Amino acid sequence: MNDISLTGKGLTAIFKSKYSPIHNWMTYSAWYSMWKNLPDAEVIIMCERGIYSKQLMSWTQRIPVKFFSYCKDQDPVQIAKNNELILPNNHVMVFDEPCVVATDTFKDAKVVESKSDETGTFVSYRNGCGKFVVSRWIDKLETPFGGASTKLITPAITVNEMRVLKLWDKMSLVFDNVCV
């Protein structure tokens, strides 16, 4: 992965998502983190088609991101390749869930847990982040953004957790404006 610059040039990140309220904001969070910390990376969002009573993923039409939906029986990575979305010679990272954010410039392709003291470019909050627990947010239409670093902080918070929460604080206003 030596060909990837600090700003992500040479990297294609594919985030697989589902058509659900929680994946709507989690995918936005993943995109925003890449846009802020790895602005030269190619980001592709592949969303598994689904039915929901509210319009979701509409923010992808208002920002610079490649977005495709696919059926459950299709391979999203193959769709990206068939549509020539992956730049030649780019390193490809596939994130099976959108609960991973880039919290720093590119150092390596390792994904570390938010509750870990291990540092890395990519942090997963799949197993929680501060007081945030994924399973408690599954069907909520609201997001944990806006004041996240205050309302979700714990006394024994790790650096990774704090980075995720601060990122969520920063993205709050933008999310509210692009997801109307």
Tens-place pLDDT, residues 22-38: 888 899 999 999 999 99
Domain encompassing residue 16: 11-178
Q: What is the total count of domains within the chain?
A: 1
* CA distances from residue 63 to 19, 60, 89, 117, 124 in whole angstroms, order as listed: 18, 6, 25, 33, 23
CA 159/CA 9 separation, integer angstroms: 26
Q: Is residue 2 part of a domain?
A: no
User: Dihedral of CA 179/98/11/70: which sign?
Assistant: negative
Question: Is the pTM of the predicted complex or chain greater than 0.85?
Answer: yes
Instruction: Answer whether residue 3 is part of any domain.
Output: no
**Distance separating the N- and C-terminal Cα atoms of the chain:** 38
Per-residue pLDDT tens over the stretch 137-158:
877 777 888 777 788 888 999 9
Structure tokens at 153: 């902080």
The pLDDT of residue 151 is 85
1 located within any domain: no
* Residue 95 or residue 88, greater confidence: 95
Residue 87 lies in a domain: yes
